[in-house]
């Protein structure tokens, strides 16, 4: 045993975080700790470290057990170099090496006793066995693996950013030699390569650790046990995250069936007692009543109160093309773009993931596509009938002076307070929580509220910048399911590889100021991205237009470019057809919206036959609408630019 929780209880004010938690961490066990935001995971780590005391029960630690963690703030001499700070993980080996040097000097000076030789041999044996000769190489490997360049090694700690300091502390922690390592969200400041390095390092380690993370793939790679903190109770499962989800579903199903079976038994017994307590079978009824009182009641499996219900939908279908970027330069300073010459076309229904190391311009590109930043060069063109919804990872679209309910209600003043409260309850804002000031919300609560605002707007193109950042594991999976069913298109940035694998149909890989479009998701494109990292990028150059092409274009007579009367009549016919199709599209969209509203608002009162009829009617309308949109898109593409300039626009 390394440490054990024995019937531990912990509360903060009226909120009971831990209820009779009993669990033991044994040597060599690699454990992942999961639970919803606010469930008490960090509290559990602080109890294990001895930084908090339980209200009841006890935390038992093995004698002389060494427990290490990554601190919240860097406590070190900031003039110290990065390499020297991380090498401090081997302080015991540095001390042994210093003593070895002293003994060597003493022996060189003629002090040649057997005791001195024995001490020197013991130190040499220990230094070699504990990796003393490899420690410099191990420090270099850890720093490089966690994203530092060679040129960073000699930099003083004072020059590092907050994220770099966190990575430095992580490097020192994994190189130290405690009996057990406690890690709270260790992947937060890491790019994909650094996460994969950490995964491999921990998977190969023989050390015990307890890691809290929202990265499902990380848990599958590094954990051989998962403990789930839910409703104040801790439940242990074997295997990684995928195995845990399967076992938990089976456990909940078994517990639900057992509860329902017991409830059925209790009701039957109560009915028998009611019918016979005063009759000829009174004696048997009283006996059954006594036995029933002794039955230990099973708890009903309950859903966590922070459960979130996402349902993204779009008010419009849109055309075939949702977004075009043409020779786009994105950045903040003219003449110094972060990305150059980016071109791509996003079609209806596509999900495009923006991938790249930290600082390659993912957020900059997304803001430019959303219109939050003006292009430095080139253009961004939304498609026909496309409306853009943007999720900002900084959550800056929320006004801290307003209340939770105002964030949604201000955009939909026609709705009632009751409907707003009902809507926000789906995002775990219940009762008086909807009147709380936004300034007092946690990061997770602000993330849920921003998603609530975007979802209510019903845009058909979603630009999402790290939408899972503030969500727990269950909420991430619920968000994924909703976005999978979303009928529009999505461009997104995420460090959650499972999220990318589930959603992405294409990847835009950003590196060295250039973007490369690749088919597939994170796993599908792994080899192509790795190959791109290995080979040097071609030098960026401005390519001027071909002189011959310019001359040919300038010499084309105007009359040759002028439309003939027959072409004019055909264009007029196409315009009339386009107008008719747009009217039909608008009518179908209204029908679909009315059907969706009825299915949603009357979900609890509709009978199964009527609900099935409405669902089928909605599916038929959507199929008809898609045919109309395809016809519209085909005619619009055939329409010459000079004839559509004054045409109908919806």
Q: Is the pLDDT of residue 240 over 60?
A: yes
Alpha helices in 50-207 (DSSP H): 82-87, 91-108, 114-129, 135-145, 162-175, 192-204
Q: What is the pLDDT of residue 371?
A: 94
How far apart are alpha carbons 247 and 22 in whole angstroms? Answer: 20
Low-confidence winner among 134-143, 433-442, 523-532, 585-594 (lowest mean pLDDT):
585-594
Question: What per-residue confidence (pLDDT) applies to 536?
Answer: 61
Rounded to whole angstroms, how far apart are CA atoms 294 and 300?
A: 18
3-class DSSP state of 341: strand
- As a whole number, mean pLDDT of residues 523-549 equals 63
570: pLDDT strictly greater than 80? no
pLDDT for res 540: 41
* pLDDT value at residue 543: 35
Distance (Å, whole) CA 562 – CA 645: 15
Whether the CB-CB separation of 624 and 588 falls below 8 Å is answered with yes
Q: What is the mean pLDDT of the chain?
A: 86
User: Tell me, what's the pLDDT at 600?
Assistant: 60
Cβ-based neighbours of 6, under 8 Å, separated by 6 or more? 22, 57, 58, 59, 60
Highest mean pLDDT of the ranges 68-82, 138-152, 630-644? 138-152
Query: 202: pLDDT confidence band, cut at 50, 70 and 90?
Result: very high
Q: pTM for this one?
A: 0.73
What one-character DSSP code corresponds to residue 66? -
The distance of Cα 508 from the centroid of its chain, to the nearest Å, equals: 18
What does residue 274 show for φ and ψ, rounded to 5 degrees? Answer: -60, -40
More confident residue, 6 or 99: 6
Given a contact cutoff of 8 angstroms between Cβ atoms, the answer to whether 643 and 575 are in contact is yes
Residue found by looking up tokens 């005619």 in the block: 635
Residue 357 CA from chain centroid, whole number: 16
The mean per-residue pLDDT over the stretch 252-264 comes to 93
Dump pLDDT digits (tens) for 435-493.
999 998 888 889 899 999 999 999 999 999 999 988 888 889 999 999 999 999 999 99
CB 450 within 8 A of CB 395: yes
Whether 194 and 163 have beta carbons less than 8 Å apart is answered as no
User: Which pLDDT does position 550 carry in this prediction?
Assistant: 30
Architecture of domain 321-538: 3-Layer(aba) Sandwich (3.40)
Asked if 325 and 352 touch (Cβ cutoff 8 Å), the reply is no
- 584's enclosing H/E stretch is helix 565-601
From 175-189, 237-251, 575-589, the region with the lowest mean pLDDT:
575-589
Q: What is the mean pLDDT of residues 122-131?
A: 86
Taking only the tens place, the pLDDT of each residue in 15-34 is: 899 999 999 999 999 999 99
pLDDT classification of 606: cutoffs 50, 70, 90: low
Q: Is 37 exposed, middle or buried (0-12, 13-18, 19+ CB in 10 A)?
A: buried
Measure the CA–CA gap between 144 and 155, rounded to whole angstroms.
14
| pLDDT over 80 (residue 602) | no
| Cβ(329)–Cβ(339) below 8 Å | yes
Q: Give the residue from 435, 372, 445, 382 showing the smallest Cα distance to 404.
A: 435
Say whether 645 sits in a helix, a strand or coil.
coil
Q: How far is CA 244 from CA 223, 225, 227, 248, in A?
A: 10, 8, 9, 6
What are the tens digits of pLDDT across the range 159-184? 988 888 989 999 999 998 889 999 99
In this prediction, residue 621 carries a pLDDT of 84
Percent of the chain with pLDDT over 90: 58
Are 435 and 403 spatial neighbours (Cβ–Cβ below 8 Å)? yes
pLDDT at 404 over 50: yes
d(CA 355, CA 417): 41
CA–CA separation, 448 and 428 (whole Å): 8
Confidence of residue 542 (pLDDT cuts 50, 70, 90): very low
Helix %, strand %, coil % of the chain (to 5): 50, 20, 35
Mean local confidence (pLDDT), 127-155:
91
Over residues 208-213, mean pLDDT: 96
Give the lowest-confidence range in 118-122, 407-411, 577-581.
577-581
Structure tokens at 483: 């976005």
Sorted by sequence, the CB contacts under 8 Å of residue 165 that are 6+ apart come out as 74, 157
Say how many Å lie between the first and final Cα of the chain, rounded: 69
Gyration radius of the chain's alpha carbons: 32
Report d(CA 352, CA 102) in Å as an integer: 62
382 exposure class (CB count in 10 Å sphere: 0-12, 13-18, 19+): middle
| Sign of the Cα pseudo-torsion (25, 31, 32, 34, in order) | negative
User: In this predicted structure, what is the pLDDT of residue 41?
Assistant: 93
- Phi then psi for 317, rounded to 5 degrees? -80, -45
Strands 30-34 and 208-212, sheet pairing? parallel
Taking every pair of C-alpha atoms in the chain, what is the biggest distance, in angstroms?
113
Q: How far apart are CA 176 and CA 180, in angstroms?
A: 10
Summarize the confidence of residues 397-426 as an average pLDDT. Answer: 92
Is it the case that residue 537 has pLDDT exceeding 60? Answer: no
| Choice between 152 and 552, residue whose per-residue pLDDT is larger | 152
Query: Please, are residues 174 and 30 in contact by the beta-carbon 8 Å criterion?
Result: no
Residue 190 pLDDT exceeds 90: no
pLDDT recorded at residue 326: 95
166: closest CA among 254, 262, 59, 73?
73
pLDDT at 541: 39
> Crossing angle for the helix pair 162-175 and 135-145, nearest 10 degrees?
140
Do 352 and 492 contact (CB within 8 A), yes or no? yes
Whether the predicted pLDDT of 594 surpasses 90 = no
Helix, strand, or coil here: 39? coil
Residue 582: DSSP 8-state: H
């Amino acid at each position: 045993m390394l440490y054990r929780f024995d019937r531990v209880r912990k509360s903060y004010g009226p909120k009971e975080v831990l209820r009779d938690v009993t669990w033991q961490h044994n040597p060599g066990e690699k454990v992942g700790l999961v639970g919803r935001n606010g469930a008490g995971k960090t509290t559990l780590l602080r109890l294990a470290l001895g930084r908090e005391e339980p209200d009841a029960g006890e935390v038992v630690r093995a004698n002389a057990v060494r427990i290490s963690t990554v601190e919240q703030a860097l406590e070190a001499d900031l003039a110290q170099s990065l390499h020297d700070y991380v090498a401090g993980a081997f302080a015991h080996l540095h001390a042994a090496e210093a003593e070895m040097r002293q003994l060597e000097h003493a022996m060189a000076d003629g002090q040649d006793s057997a005791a001195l030789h024995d001490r020197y041999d013991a130190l040499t044996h220990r230094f070699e066995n504990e990796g003393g000769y490899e420690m410099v190489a191990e420090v270099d490997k850890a720093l490089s693996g966690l994203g530092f360049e060679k040129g960073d090694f000699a930099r003083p700690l004072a020059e590092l950013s907050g994220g770099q300091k966190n990575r430095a502390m992580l490097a020192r922690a994994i190189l130290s030699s405690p009996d057990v390592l406690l890690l709270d969200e260790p992947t937060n400041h890491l790019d994909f390569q650094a996460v994969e390095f950490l995964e491999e390092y921990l998977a190969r380690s023989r050390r015990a650790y307890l890691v809290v993370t929202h990265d499902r793939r990380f848990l599958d790679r590094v954990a051989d046990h998962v403990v789930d903190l839910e409703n104040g109770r801790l439940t242990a499962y074997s295997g990684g995250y995928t195995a845990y989800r399967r076992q938990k579903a089976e456990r909940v199903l078994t517990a639900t069936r057992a509860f329902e079976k017991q409830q059925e038994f209790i009701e039957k017994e109560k009915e028998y007692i009611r019918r016979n307590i005063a009759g000829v079978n009174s004696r048997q009824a009283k006996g059954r009543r006594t036995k029933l009182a002794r039955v230990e009641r099973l708890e009903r499996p309950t859903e966590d109160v922070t459960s979130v219900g996402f349902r993204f939908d779009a008010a419009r279908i849109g055309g075939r093309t949702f977004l075009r970027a043409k020779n786009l330069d994105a950045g903040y300073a003219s003449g110094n773009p972060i990305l150059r010459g980016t071109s791509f076309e996003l079609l209806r229904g596509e999900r495009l993931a923006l991938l790249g190391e930290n600082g390659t311009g993912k957020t900059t590109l997304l803001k430019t596509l959303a219109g939050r930043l003006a292009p430095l060069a080139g253009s961004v063109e939304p498609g026909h009938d496309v409306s853009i919804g943007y999720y900002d990872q900084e959550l800056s679209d929320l006004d801290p002076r307003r209340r939770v309910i105002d964030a949604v209600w201000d955009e939909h003043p026609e709705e009632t307070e009751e409907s707003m409260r009902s809507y926000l309850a789906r995002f775990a804002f219940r009762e008086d929580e909807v009147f709380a000031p936004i300034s007092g919300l946690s990061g997770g609560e602000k993330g849920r509220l921003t998603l609530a605002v975007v979802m209510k707007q019903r845009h058909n193109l979603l630009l999402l910048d790290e939408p899972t950042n503030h969500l727990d594991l269950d909420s991430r999976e619920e968000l994924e399911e909703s976005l999978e069913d979303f009928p529009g298109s999505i461009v997104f940035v995420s460090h959650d590889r499972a999220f990318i694998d589930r959603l992405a149909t294409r990847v835009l890989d950003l590196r060295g100021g250039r973007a490369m479009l690749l088919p597939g998701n994170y796993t599908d494109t792994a080899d192509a991205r790795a190959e791109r990292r290995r080979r040097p990028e071609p030098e960026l150059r401005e390519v001027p237009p071909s002189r011959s092409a310019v001359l040919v274009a300038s010499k084309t007579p105007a009359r040759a470019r002028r439309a003939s009367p027959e072409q004019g009549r055909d264009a007029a016919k196409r315009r009339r057809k386009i107008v008719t199709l747009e009217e039909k599209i608008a009518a179908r969209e209204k029908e679909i919206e009315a059907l969706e509203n009825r299915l949603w608002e009357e979900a609890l009162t509709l009978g199964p036959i009527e609900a099935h009829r409405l669902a089928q009617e909605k599916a038929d309308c959507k199929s008809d609408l898609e045919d109309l949109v395809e016809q519209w898109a085909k005619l619009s593409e055939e329409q010459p630019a000079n004839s559509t300039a004054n045409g109908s626009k919806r």
